Amino acid sequence: MIERIDTNARSSKIVKYNGVAYLTGQVAEGDTIQDQVRTCLRRIETLLEMAGSSKENLLRVQIWLADMSDFAGLNEVWNAWVPEGHAPARACGESKLARPELKVEFIVEAAVN
């Protein structure tokens, strides 16, 4: 059975199916890539908790950067956030994001506890 959490006409913040939580893409405003990444990761933690999961249960994370020159700044925050021994499969690429002020978007899948 598919469970949708916090759904509106366009999307659900979380979709749970077959033991996996799929989170809607997370973006944030902020002056630096580090600011935006920190805010996104806090939001991801909140959504994972709502889904009955945690960052220790991450399966796969796709990260889209508006500019690959922000890769080091992304990793600076990311590496401190991911629990040791629990790194997910990860992909990172460059993409034009929905608004010009956005520097990063995260797409997350995690196992549900």
For residue 41, the enclosing domain spans 3-111
* Domains: count for the chain: 1
Tell me which residue has tokens 């809607």: 24
pLDDT given for residue 22 in this prediction: 98
pTM: 0.95
pLDDT given for residue 113 in this prediction: 79
Query: In 3D, which of 57, 18, 43 has the Cα closest to residue 106?
Result: 43
pLDDT given for residue 33 in this prediction: 98
Assigned token pair, 60: 């796969």
CATH number for 52: 3.30.1330.40
pLDDT given for residue 43 in this prediction: 98
Alpha helix (H) ranges present in the chain? 33-51, 71-81
Digitized pLDDT (tens) for each residue of the chain, 113 residues in all: 999 999 999 999 999 999 999 999 999 999 999 999 999 999 999 999 999 999 999 999 999 999 999 999 999 999 999 999 999 999 999 999 999 999 999 999 999 97
DSSP E strands in 1-113: the ranges are 3-7, 12-17, 20-23, 58-65, 89-94, 104-111
